Chains A and B, each alone.
Chain A
Amino acid sequence: MNYERIKEKLDILADAAKYDVSCSSSGSTRTNKNKGLGNSSSSGICHTYTEDGRCVSLLKILLTNHCIFNCAYCVTRKSNDIKRAAFKVQEVVDLTIAFYRRNYIEGLFLSSGIFKNPDYTMERLIGVAKKLRLEENFNGYIHLKSIPGASDELMREAGLYADRLSVNIEIPTEKGLKLLAPDKDRKDFIMPMNKVKNEIIQYKNDKRKFKNTPLYAPAGQSTQMIIGAGGETDAEIMYSSAYFYKQFNLKRVYYSGYIPISYDERLPAIGTEVPLLRENRLYQTDWLLRFYGFDIRELLTPEHPNLDSDIDPKLSWALRHLDLFPLDINKADKFMLARIPGVGLKSVNKIIQARRFRRLNWDHLKALGIASNRAKYFILCNSGEYESKDRTAAQIKGLILQNSTSKFRKTFDQQLNLFNSIN
């Protein structure tokens, strides 16, 4: 192995891959077969964190950053004057194994620029995964990119070796896509996504009948959308997201604040702040949809097309529905408990377990770790006092903001200051 050369390639191809924010290695349980190397645990492990605070769980690289396309928002685009490189299949295999054996990573996330054509590219990605599984007996996590426009046969093969497959939609609306990636067609994203979805359904059916049906993409599919590049509203982003979750049974949608990388006048200028706070609000909304039983229509509407920046989407929803509160913490069902601001799902479970033993009061709730500075305006419990007899939504919001030192406020202090100076 020629380290100098590998290092040079790794630098280029890791740098080009970093804008894909999905790092998850979760959702797959692959056991170690025949005393081979590795396994995947369903929760995944973050082995380290970058200085921007993101989890590093996989070796995330491009196979090559040569590309025949010219998507405006992408560093790898054809017209960008940058150093290009390409890994050989065996080089990626060796690097993955060496990193894995040292417990640096959970596995590999391999993406690629499109060279020659989609199938040619997809074949090479599959080549890496196949070698890892068959020659190295590697049972760690493999995430492969589905190349837009790749054929059905290749997508079928990819799922036999990969744990997860993903196509990045990147631009949430069709009109945005037309503007920023004119040579791309939404159909080309949908095609491989659809094939993989159908194969997963097929696999689940077969599995019921035949025990040793080979695994097919056990960690499912995901996608990513870039935020703040195409001028979409939060509603446009989240309705699009909800559609993809539903239509293609996606496991995750990632939201990635656009990082200005070119002087293209269709895009925010270089130096524009990355919209981290907005990205965070979108993740919170996504969370509410997937785990808290919210419907997108409850959170974003034509009258309310953007999320509040100063408060989180659950609090925002609760303030618009004060008629449903206060809730009695000792009686309310799981579904409603999860809708109380300041009460997370873990707390919901603890409340339900603990109230079997006795009626809970404020002290109990505090001991359970409930953020009472928010929750207190929305609940009744086994203590006399109740906080917000006749407060309006605006008053409650004011009180909460005044007393809150939420992590967003601290983390995004700079951004908030920016907002304040604008208002």
Chain B
Amino acid sequence: MLILTRRPGESLYLGDNIKLKVLSVQGKQIKLGLELPEEMTVYREEVYLRIKEQNRQALECTDQDLLQAATLWQRKESE
């Protein structure tokens, strides 16, 4: 891992088109500003990992449990 020290107001460039600026440090919180290409998405790690786990679970159900769940919840035909 590359380790760098920056002060508030100082920035880093990642490659040609990502700028990461340290805006402020207050206690344990660091506020970061990012300038990114328009179509680049950014995830907070804990959210990314939670969704990854949910996706894995959505993939793992057995056919038998799926059929049983499907009978527990039927599509509403009348609405």
Q: Are A and B physically bound partners? A: no
**Chain A interfacial positions (CB closer than 8 Å to B):** none
